[in-house]
Structures are given as C-alpha cells and as structure tokens.
Amino acid sequence: MRDVAIIGVGMNKWGELWQKSLRDIFVESALLAIQDAGVDRIDSMYVGCMTSGLFIGQEHLSSLLADYLGVGSIPSVRVESACASGGLAVRMGFMDVASGMSDIVLVGGVEKMTDVSGDGATYALSTAADQEYEVYHGITFPGLYALMARNHMDRYGTTREQLAQVAVKNHENGSKNPLAQFPHKITAEQVINSIMVADPLTILDCSPITDGAACAVLCPATMAEKISKKPPVKIIGTGNATDTIALHSRSDLTTLNATVKAAERAYQMAGVKPDDIDLAEVHDCFTIAEIIITEDLGFFKKGEGGKAVERGLTALEGQKPINTSGGLKSKGHPVGATGVAQVVEVVHQLRGEAEKRQVKDAKIGLTQNMGGSGGSAVVHIMQKM
C-alpha cells in the first residue's frame, strides 16, 4: 500500500448561494484545489453528496460533475453516507491512490440545500434517520440530539452554559474565517435565550442550512515530494465505522460508538494517540455533539467534555483546539461537503496558512465526520510532511 498525500485544497464561500447551481459551486472549489495542487490532469474523482435528488432533483452526479469540470471520461463516483458523505469520499480517494489504481485523485463534497423550503430541507435531512421507527413518529434531528444532551446533562452534570460555550467558541473561530457562512461572534446569553428548537437546544445550538463545496487533490507521497508547489500533508490514518441508525437501539445515548471505533482504527493505523493530536475538526452539528465527540475521540474523559470547553481547553489557544474553522456551527454545514471542508482546514493549519486562526506549531491534525445521529463516522489523521 502506497503512502498518500494531499497536495491541493479548495473551498468557496459558503452560505445561501442563490445565484449559483450545485454544479457551479462544485466546479469552483474543484478548480481552486487543482490550481493549488499545480496539476494538469485528474485520474479519477470521488464526490460526497447526501441527497441532491431531494434538494435539487438531480442525481447521477458522477457523470454530471465530471462533465461540467471538463475532465473527460475519467472514473467518477458519487459517495453517500448521509452527513459523512464528504469524509467517506476522502477515504475512497485515499484507498484509490494507496492501492495504486490511480495517481492523482480529486475528492470533493457538495450540497445545495437552500433551493427547497424549510419543510423540504427538514424532510431531506430526515432521510438520514430511521424512517419507520423514528421519523414516522415525528422525531427530528434536533429532537434526537436533545435526547443525547439531556442524558449527558443528567448523567455527568453537563450544564446549559457549557453547551452554549461550544457555540460561542466556534463563532469566535468562525469570525476569523472569511469563507464561513456566519462569521459573527455571539455570547452565551444569546445562545441560551434564542428560539427554542428542542429542549435544551435553541437555534444557536444548531448548525445552519448551507450551500457549499470543498475539494482536495490526493496523490502518492513520493510523487507529492516531486510535484507539490506547497508543503504536502500526508494522510497517516483513516478509520470508518457504523452504528445502529436508530437512537433507541443504542445502549448508551452519551457515546457515539461509530466515532469510537473509527477513531480506534485511525489511531492504530497512524501509530499515534489522542495526546499527539494538535488540533481537530469535529462534527458539531449540534453543540452537544462536539462535547460527546471530544470524549469519544479520547481527548477528554467521558463526562468531562463540557468542563473542557468551559475551561478554554478547546479554544484556539487552548490545550486541544477544536473546530478552528468555526465548525459546522459557524462555517456552515452543506451536508455532503462538510467532511472535505474539515480536511481543507487541517491542511491549511498544517501548512501554516490559517492566518488569524493559526494553531502554533501544528504538526498532526484530525477530522471526524459523521452521518445522522452518529450511525456512520469517518476519522482521518494527517501529518505535515
């Protein structure tokens, strides 16, 4: 198996992109990544997208996007694993290069979510939950994560203020990210007093509906050393796992088992431990998700994630910076693109290109991307070459 490096990344400004189509926003980010890599060809392509059929009525993205990008008849695959589609596309691209099947692979993620009504978006997102046993009975993702939050609060003493501090921190980081959808600072009081969605989660505990895309170019590490215009970043570990899709089938609502298993596999492959990670981009679709994920990744003991946020340990200058990009909460969450955007942020950090949100002496970064209420998860670990 060949070592794999990332030699180019690209991402466009996220938000409500009314004047652009899905194909437009994907090609924008793809061309940025190709230009950043300095390559003149693509051997194959993987695109993460959760549900373009429900959001814009368009399937068959593997053909559509390869054609619109102008890369000819290359092998192209659309990857779906709910909100983990982007992370899984990166993993598929990694495996393609590592196996020797392709040398230069474009991996991307895209979603156009604002062309439907709020009800339409809620329905499209709900397809990532168990239709017969959850959605049919009226539950939504805010409701599922509210159940996790209440359980975590009752079991470990996590407070409403600690949940709010996750949003405050991520918006602080996002205010330094020019590509973020909501680059605005907020206060804990604003979070707590905003519109209630599913007790205890208010609207400012929830990630937004977003249009956007992100891409990266992968190649063998030996090739990267010869052709890369910028310092290449090596993918040293990758892990993927699944769990029951329905929340009620799990033995513990405060643990995301797919994340635990995916992380274990990525750590083992990389030969590193949680303490070796300098920064991480994690799937903060709701504030409670970040708290649980930081525990499941081994950064903090179970039940200590909320206290870690409160003490500033996950802040930009903290012991374990989390979501330096602003996370899903501030940067935005175009579901199919999120996992790739996390990789884009870590690459910028390891190259030393993150400007005002740069983590000092960052050498190893991690991304954690998950689908639905944690029914699937992908973890990548990257190191500066």
* 150-173 mean pLDDT: 98
Largest CA distance in the chain: 56
**Residue 15 pLDDT:** 98
**Residue 172 pLDDT:** 98
DSSP secondary structure, 141-200, as one string:
HHHHHHHHHHHHHHHH---HHHHHHHHHHHHHHHTT-TT-S------HHHHHHS-EEETT
Q: What is the pTM of this model?
A: 0.98
**Residue 88 pLDDT:** 98
Q: Say if residue 200 is preceded by a cis peptide, omega within 30 of 0.
A: yes
Sorted by where each starts, the structural domains of the chain and their CATH numbers stand as 4-117+209-233 (3.40.47.10), 139-206+235-384 (3.40.47.10)
244-292 pLDDT, tens digit per residue, is: 999 999 999 999 999 999 999 999 999 999 999 999 999 999 999 999 9
In which band, very low, low, confident or very high, does the pLDDT at 17 lie, cut at 50, 70 and 90? very high
Give the residue numbers marked as catalytic.
Answer: 83, 333
DSSP symbol at 77 = E
DSSP symbol at 13 = P
**Residue 338 pLDDT:** 98
Percent of the chain with pLDDT over 70: 100
Does 229 have pLDDT greater than 90? no
351-363 pLDDT, tens digit per residue, is: 999 999 999 999 9
**Residue 266 pLDDT:** 98
**Residue 51 pLDDT:** 96
The sheet that has 364-371: what strands, in order across it?
Answer: 76-79, 44-48, 105-112, 211-220, 4-11, 233-242, 376-384, 364-371, 279-281
362-372 pLDDT, tens digit per residue, is: 999 999 999 99
Does 93 have pLDDT greater than 90? yes
* 106-114 mean pLDDT: 98
In which band, very low, low, confident or very high, does the pLDDT at 92 lie, cut at 50, 70 and 90? very high
DSSP H/E element including 108: strand 105-112
Strands 201-202 and 76-79: unpaired
**Residue 159 pLDDT:** 98
CA distances from 128 to 140, 161, 246, 286, 324 (A): 10, 29, 10, 15, 27
The mean pLDDT value of the chain amounts to 97
